[in-house]
């Protein structure tokens, strides 16, 4: 009874929106892709998932979102167990790792409108949402093009826009930076920060550690379908055994920062997260 009350208190105090409990998943060919995964997320949190190819990131995302049927484990949204896959798909949007798997409509506009139209929103609301999403993703000029003729990175931006137009509280992005050029990646960081600041909860997979260092509130590392580690980027990327086991790459900024410290070019400061913070550190942190 006391435990129950304290659990409720923790929930109220921390604003937890998503809880995954003891999730395991086996594909029909008997390959066990996930084993006993548990974690939780607060509203507005950005959690980045790392792990080598085949570690289970995409499988985990598809189990959470309802594309794969869970037989073992629980997904709780806003402290309510949501068993139905269809309901989870309605509550959690996903940007697929491979844009080709997601695109179905004949034009970019229709693709981005697909979700809101399916929800039965009035036409003016649909148009408003689509225009806004196209603008955020910088693809207004592509609105009338058939998505299948677009470049890889353009398709990726279309699929992100089609998820933004749904305006969900929880969004999963499976390797969103894959195929994006430098400028688009920069803009994606701003977009994700903006979404999180507005209270959107984001689950993001990536192999790019500098992207995570810059943007993640927390990192979860998967290894062979199991949860290997969980923590702040700085902490995860300073643990050699995790880096080695999960085939991670230490962020370049962190490598350089540590070398500068080692050779006493700078005094210890907080780890800079991006080039701007790094250059401030070099300006202010000189030893001579």
Ligand X SMILES: Nc1ncnc2c1ncn2[C@@H]1O[C@H](COP(=O)(O)OP(=O)(O)OP(=O)(O)O)[C@@H](O)[C@H]1O
- The binding site for ligand X (CB under 6 A) comprises 27, 29, 31, 33, 51, 53-59, 97
Of 170 and 248, nearer to ligand X (C-beta) is 248
Output helix, strand, coil percentages for the chain, rounded to the nearest 5. 45, 20, 35
**Residue 159 touches Mg ion, criterion: CB under 5 A:** no
Of 97 and 162, nearer to Mg ion (C-beta) is 97
Q: Which does 152 bind (CB under 5 to 8 A by kind): ligand X, Mg ion, none?
A: none
Of 163 and 271, nearer to ligand X (C-beta) is 163
Of 58 and 212, nearer to ligand X (C-beta) is 58
Q: How far is the CB of 178 from Mg ion (least distance, A)?
A: 10
> Rounded to an integer, what distance in angstroms lies between the CA atom of residue 157 and that of residue 207?
18
By C-alpha distance, which of 105, 156, 145 is closest to 126? 105
Place of tokens 């210890």: 268
Alpha-carbon distances, residue 185 vs 77, 146, 178, 179, 256 (angstroms): 30, 23, 9, 9, 22
**Residue 209 touches Mg ion, criterion: CB under 5 A:** no
Q: Which does 54 bind (CB under 5 to 8 A by kind): Mg ion, ligand X, none?
A: ligand X
By C-alpha distance, which of 47, 41, 38, 26 is closest to 73? 38
Three-state DSSP class for residue 106:
coil
Q: For residue 219, what is the DSSP state? A: E
Of 29 and 183, nearer to ligand X (C-beta) is 29
Q: Which residues pair with 111 in a beta bridge?
A: none
Q: How far is the CB of 231 from ligand X (least distance, A)?
A: 19
**Residue 58 touches Mg ion, criterion: CB under 5 A:** yes
Residues contributing to the site for Mg ion (CB under 5 A): 57-58, 97
């Amino acid at each position: 009874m006391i435990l129950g009350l304290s659990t409720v208190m923790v929930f109220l105090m921390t604003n937890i929106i998503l809880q995954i409990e003891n999730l395991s998943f086996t594909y029909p060919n008997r390959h066990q892709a996930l084993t006993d995964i548990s974690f939780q997320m607060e509203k507005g949190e950005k959690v980045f998932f790392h792990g080598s190819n085949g570690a289970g990131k995409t499988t985990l995302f598809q189990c959470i979102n309802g594309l794969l049927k869970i037989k073992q484990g629980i997904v709780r949204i806003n402290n309510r167990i949501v068993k139905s896959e269809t309901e989870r798909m309605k509550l959690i949007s996903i940007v697929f790792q491979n844009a080709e798997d997601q695109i179905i409509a004949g034009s970019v506009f229709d693709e981005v409108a697909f979700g809101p139209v399916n929800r039965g929103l009035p036409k003016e609301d649909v148009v408003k949402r689509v225009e806004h999403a196209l603008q955020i993703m910088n693809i207004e000029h592509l609105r009338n093009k058939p998505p299948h003729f677009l470049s890889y990175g353009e398709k990726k931006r279309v699929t992100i826009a089609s998820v933004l137009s749904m305006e969900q509280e929880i969004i999963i992005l499976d390797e969103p930076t894959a195929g994006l050029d430098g400028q688009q990646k920069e803009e994606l960081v701003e977009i994700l920060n903006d979404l999180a600041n507005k209270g959107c909860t984001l689950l993001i997979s990536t192999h790019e550690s500098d992207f995570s260092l810059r943007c993640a509130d927390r990192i979860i590392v998967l290894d062979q379908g199991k949860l290997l580690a969980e923590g702040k980027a700085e902490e995860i990327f300073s643990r050699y055994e995790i880096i080695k086991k999960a085939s991670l790459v230490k962020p370049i900024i962190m490598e350089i920062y540590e070398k500068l410290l080692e050779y006493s070019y700078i005094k210890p400061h907080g780890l800079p997260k991006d080039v701007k913070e790094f250059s401030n550190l070099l300006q202010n942190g000189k030893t001579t």
